[in-house]
Chain A
Amino acid sequence: MVHIKRLQEESCDILAVIGEIDASSSIELDLAIAKSVGDGYRRILVDCHALEYISSAGLGVFMSYIEEFKEKGIVMVLFGMSEKVAHTFSILGLSDLLNIVSNKEEAKQRIHELSV
């Protein structure tokens, strides 16, 4: 139900999330982020262009890394969300807790600002 493609650009690890993340598939997102951290990346971009749906299980994965990333100096920026997916984040006010921007250029800019 969800497929996550990884590619690297300018010292950033980009995770492109394709499909739907619910209680049955959130583990895939969790593993992909954990793998990125395990591989030593300090700048993680999450491409949400092809993310069609996310439930609280997926939101919880992003939330669960906030504290760890703060401790380790890792920066994560999400970009390219559809209006529907962005609405799910905003219902809970997560837009204020996570770094969410509209496109990849902004995401790279944000990640460089936050990494300084």
Chain B
Amino acid sequence: MSYQYNIGCSLANLKGIRDFIRKTLQVHAVPDVELSAIVLALDEMCSNLMIHAHHCNPDHSLTLKIHTQENHIFVFEIMDDGEMFDINQFHSPELGNIVHEKRKGGLGIRLVKSIMDNIEYVHEGGKNVCRLTKKIGA
């Protein structure tokens, strides 16, 4: 099955994105701890995109799609037409450096890479598509 959510690039919309993911995954009986981790990873991806590629412009939009498959693999696609922001190109900073430099950022990429099984970027139909994959349970 596939589910879709369209939203403007305002950080105030992150809560709506999280609620959409929670409701969708609950329908598919995803265990609570895994569900929370996925919500977190997608929140990080969407907020990164809103901030870095769209400068929080609410007139810009992004689309989140969730595809469920029978083999317990969930595919999440975030589509937009901004500048591509490929987290695979960014090195996750060491925790020690974040503390030492009193930085507030840099943790999100580390979180997403820890939670998701695979992250890839493609360009399809004039849109950037970030595809994240996660196998859940058995």
A93 contacts B95, C-beta separation under 8 Å: yes
Residues of B within 8 A of A91 (CB): 37, 111, 114-115
Q: Is the CB of B15 within 8 A of A20?
A: yes
Point out the residues of chain B lying under 8 angstroms from A67, CB to CB: 99-100, 102
Q: Give the CA-CA distance A16 to B32 in the complex, in Å.
A: 24
Interface residues of A in 13-35 (CB under 8 A from B): 20, 22-24, 26, 30
* Count, chain B residues at interface, CB 8 A: 31
Q: Does A114 contact B (CB under 8 A)?
A: no
Q: A1-B15, A23-B14 are in contact. Are A55 and B40 (CB under 8 A)?
A: yes
* Residue from B43, B50, B107 in contact with A63 in the complex, judged by beta carbons closer than 8 Å: B107
Stretch at the interface among A4-12, A81-89, A100-108: A81-89
The CA of A100 and the CA of B17, in the complex, are separated in Å by 29
Q: Cβ of A116: which chain B residues have Cβ within 8 Å of it?
A: none
B127 contacts the other chain (Cβ, under 8 Å)?
no
A26: chain B residues within 8 A (beta carbon)? 104
